[in-house]
Structure 1
Amino acid sequence: MEKLKNLFPVLILCLAFSINTHSQTNIEAGVRFGDNTGIDATIPLGISPRLHPTVYLDYFGVGTYFDWMFALTDGPSGLKFYPGVGPEFFFENDFDFNIAGNFGVEYSFKFPLTIGFDWRPGFAVTNDFDFYTGNWGIMARYRFKEGGFKRVD
């Protein structure tokens, strides 16, 4: 629990800096259901890359992924694919630190709703350095303040 107290202010400062620096961009927030249920958000860092934090509720933890966005040439407007990578911190019984991938597809409607499906495999760095393949999820997010960077179509 002491590690959580030390880590929490750092995470809040990083999130606050991202929001303050890019407040003119589209930020999304919503829910993620699947192997790990949580509160899911995206914070654009430019036209393509974004920060993708998730607070997991069933196995309490925080994951923050850096995603690169891609759209199909001549594909449906609003359909995007993304690979990503980032750290995960879990605080349930013991402290767990993981390095995870984030691979997904999502669709942004013309109204402020994005739905998606993703997979987050990873390596558990603490506790035996295991590879895990779970953590599938579907998500629905609300897009705040349309404007700033244009969505990747």
Structure 2
Amino acid sequence: MIRFVFSGILLMILSFTGLNAQNSGLIAENALGLRLGGGDGFGAEISYQRQIGSPNNRLEADLGWRNDSYFDAFKLTGLYQWVWNIEGGFNWYAGVGGGLGSVEDNRYFKNGYRPNDGMFLFVAGDIGIEYNFDIPLMLSLDFRPEIGFNDYDVLNNFIPDIALGVRYQF
């Protein structure tokens, strides 16, 4: 699955090479790529950012999965972010948001039934740094603390999510 997602992103980047990612604001109007990392298990997310309002505000939507030896989870995250320029193409940002997901608990399995499987909600903060290259490429490193809510003991706590982002800007 990782190869499929990566190949799709690479194909999209190659098809948009003629576009210029620079605009009059701090950030590009759109950015699409991958966010790799995780706090409670490794995961990958397809990440989309869209500039809204002023040239230093954006929305970020991420669809991804997490897994470790205890659980597998899919989740959808939405964040509102504020971006501030440090110097040149180097920015820092902060944001708030939340999301929902589905978890499969791998710790318990009784007669074909997993008692802790189900949906969960979470709230999240976000703080990070990014660099916008002269080509339409952005690298970022962020810390996203998440607090999950569900009726089970899986993902019902604080999760410090740290990830590296690679995005194509257009």
TM-score (norm 1): 0.70
Whole-angstrom distance in 1 between the partners of 2:131 and 2:144: 18
Code of the residue aligned with 1:140 in structure 2: it is V
**Partner of residue 92, structure 2:** 81
Q: How many residues align?
A: 117
Greater gyration radius: 2
**Partner of residue 105, structure 1:** 129
**Partner of residue 55, structure 1:** 63
Task: Give unmatched runs, 5+ long, in structure 2.
Answer: 1-27, 67-72, 104-116
SS of 2:160's partner is coil
Q: Is the 8 A contact 2:58 2:81 kept in 1?
A: yes
Segment drifting more, 60-69 vs 88-97: 88-97
Q: Is the 8 A contact 1:83 1:103 kept in 2?
A: yes
Task: Give unmatched runs, 5+ long, in structure 1.
Answer: 1-24, 145-153
Q: Is the 8 A contact 2:147 2:159 kept in 1?
A: no
**Which 4+ runs in 1 deviate beyond 2 A?**
125-131
Segment drifting more, 109-118 vs 28-37: 28-37
Question: What is the percentage of aligned positions where both structures have the same residue?
Answer: 25
Code of the residue aligned with 2:147 in structure 1: it is F
Segment drifting more, 32-41 vs 59-68: 32-41
SS of 2:168's partner is strand
Show CA shifts across 1:40-77 (max 9, x none).
111000311100111012321100100000112xx2x1
Q: Does 1:139 align with 2:147?
A: no
Whole-angstrom distance in 2 between the partners of 1:131 and 1:94: 15
TM-score (norm 2): 0.64
Q: What is the CA-CA distance between 1:131 and the residue it aligns to?
A: 4.2
Whole-angstrom distance in 2 between the partners of 1:131 and 1:97: 11
SS of 2:34's partner is strand
Q: Is the 8 A contact 2:139 2:167 kept in 1?
A: yes
Whole-angstrom distance in 1 between the partners of 2:157 and 2:146: 6
Greater strand content: 2
Q: What is the CA-CA distance between 1:137 and the residue it aligns to?
A: 0.4
Q: What is the CA-CA distance between 1:134 and the residue it aligns to?
A: 2.1
Segment drifting more, 88-97 vs 111-120: 88-97
- Kindly report the root-mean-square deviation, in angstroms, between the aligned alpha carbons of the 2 structures: 1.8
Q: Is the 8 A contact 1:53 1:65 kept in 2?
A: yes
**Partner of residue 148, structure 1:** none
**Partner of residue 32, structure 1:** 35
Cα distance 1:91–1:130, how it changes in 2: closer, same or farther (>3 A)? closer
